[in-house]
Amino acid sequence: MRIGFCGAHRTGKTTLARAIARIYHLPLLSSSASAVAARHSFDMAHHNRLDTGIPMQVEQLDTMIEGFEERTEGFVSDRTPLDAAAYLLADATASAGTPLSRETTVTYVEKAMALTAKHFDIVILVPPAITFEPMDGKPPMNEAYQEHHHMLVRGMLFDDEVSIRSGQIQRTNTSRLDRISAVLEFCDPIAREKGMAVPCDAEQSVAA
């Protein structure tokens, strides 16, 4: 089973992915854009033009897909290609970038959506809901930017042109155990389809 978590930064995706990977006995793929950003001198704490972000996001997507393809037996990932595409779109404005970079962005987004559908059995959208603290190497602590990113991911996830099996955690759900329970409700039917063991209780599974 291949499970992906998507959504804005600092929403608890990695915490959930780690718990779900342990419950289903699947390897965890945890990707960070920080190292790739540093190689491209891309400062995520400040505004960046579209042209600057494209090379970084291309490398980020390629690295992500390599990791997916190496794990043919299944995995849980705390990122999906939709997340990378949303960061690129977040820097796209009416005047940002050259005509070529704007065209490249559209192509990149379409590719990210297709790759998400190809590499995941289900993708779980995690909304902005929990309190988070600023951290070095992370996007700015800006609730409007976080919400913008979330809506971009949500739009791609539920696009009519690409069929992606998905689930969405409710914004009012901020309890770790309740969030895990919600994810299990989305994933258990797929686990049964694949003949995998299905946990009986989220609290017991996390404690085990």
Report the CATH number that the domain containing residue 65 is assigned in CATH.
Answer: 3.40.50.300
| Residue 86 within a domain | yes
Is residue 51 included in any domain, yes or no? yes
Residue 124 lies in a domain: yes
| 25 phi/psi in degrees, rounded to 5 | 60, 50
- Tens of pLDDT, residue by residue over 134-172, are 666 565 567 888 899 999 999 999 998 899 999 999 999
Residue 185 lies in a domain: yes
Quote the domain boundaries for residue 179. Answer: 2-201
Q: Would you say residue 90 lies in a domain? A: yes
Return the structure tokens found at 40: 């491209």
Residue type, 14: T
On whether residue 207 sits in a domain, the answer given is: no
Which pLDDT value is given to residue 98?
80
208 inside domain: no
Q: Please report whether residue 10 resides in a domain.
A: yes
DSSP 20-83: HHHHHT--EE---SHHHHHHTT--TTS---HHHHHHHHHHHHHHHHHHHHH-TT-EEES--HHH
What's the DSSP call for residue 149? H
pLDDT tens digits along 93-132: 767 778 888 888 899 999 999 999 999 999 999 999 876 6
Predicted TM-score of the model (pTM): 0.84
Q: Among 53-57, 70-74, 159-163, whose mean pLDDT is lowest?
A: 53-57
Number of domains in the chain: 1
Please choose, from the candidates 203, 159, 171, the residue with its C-alpha nearest in 3D space to the C-alpha of residue 184: 203
d(CA 148, CA 21): 28
